[in-house]
Amino acid sequence: MTRVTDDIIISTVARILIPFIQLYALYVIMHGHHSPGGGFQGGVILGASFILYLLTHGLEEAKTRMSEMKAGLFSSFGLLIYSGIGLLCLALGSNYLDYGELSTILKVIPAQARSLGILGVEIGVGIAVMAVMFSIFFDISTGGALPEDEEGLGERDE
Amino acid sequence: MRRDWGKEMSNFLICLGMGLFALVFLCLYRGTFGPGVLNRIAAISAIGTKTLVILLLMGFIYNRVDMFVDISMVYALLNFIGTITAAKYLEKMGEV
């Protein structure tokens, strides 16, 4: 499923569509707190754009954009943002993920600090979900081959 | 966008949605028992399109089109990617 296709229509449509899909995913993440959507949904859309790229441009070219290792790093980074904001609230003397306490370091009123805090958490969730979605699809389409045994990937893909 | 429909218009939209809902089941039959893979792919794609229209009708009934447009756009997008994935799978397996 992941070999390079020579279909010009599919690859051209995907190339035109992918930036708009990613822009829409960013919109869903950013407007998560006053419209349907949020971190998870936006992350799924962002992951779907990478999956579309992998489907239309083949495994080798997709690996140059987003490799398995990069996906793992991104998922850990998103989790770091999420838990970092939560633990920062905890360190400031409030409950876990109680963003009102962030107003002391952000120098804004507590209501605005809550809005900014939940936005930061949603960005973290979005990054993590995008990377995990891509990683799951990567694993399924390569048959679970790890980055170490790259040489075994070629004949399994045929 | 926030426009209040009359009761007649709301009833009309509900009847339209119920008609589409019944048509989804016909497509579901074709997708389950339909001969061949191509019929199934076409049926799944048609179900996705009908669901999109039903979502928009729900938005009009509840006077919240601005929210339901977002959901239906995601639905159309994932439907497109799903169809491409099924087509790639068919291309690799070589059975039509």
Among A1, A3, A48, beta carbon nearest to B78: A48
pLDDT at res. A157: 47
Among B77, B84, B89, beta carbon nearest to A21: B77
Model pLDDT for residues A4-18, shown as the tens digit of each residue: 666 788 889 889 999
Q: pLDDT at residue B96 above 60?
A: no
Q: pLDDT at residue A158 above 50?
A: no
Q: What is the model's pTM?
A: 0.81
User: With contacts defined as CB-CB under 8 Å, which chain A residues touch B89?
Assistant: 1
Rounded Cα–Cα distance for residues A114 and B65 (Å): 28
Residues contacting residue B35 through CB under 8 Å, at least 6 positions apart: none
Exposed / middle / buried, residue A6 (Cβ in 10 Å: 0-12, 13-18, 19+): exposed
Asked if A136 contacts A52 with a C-beta cutoff of 8 angstroms, the reply is no
Model pLDDT for residues B33-46, shown as the tens digit of each residue: 978 888 999 999 99
pLDDT at res. B79: 92
Rounded Cα–Cα distance for residues B11 and B17 (Å): 10
Model pLDDT for residues A47-62, shown as the tens digit of each residue: 999 999 988 888 888 8
Which one, of B95, B50, A57, lies nearest residue B42 by Cα? B50
Q: pLDDT at residue A144 above 90?
A: no
Asked if A94 contacts A100 with a C-beta cutoff of 8 angstroms, the reply is yes
Residue B20 is encoded by which pair of tokens?
């589409």
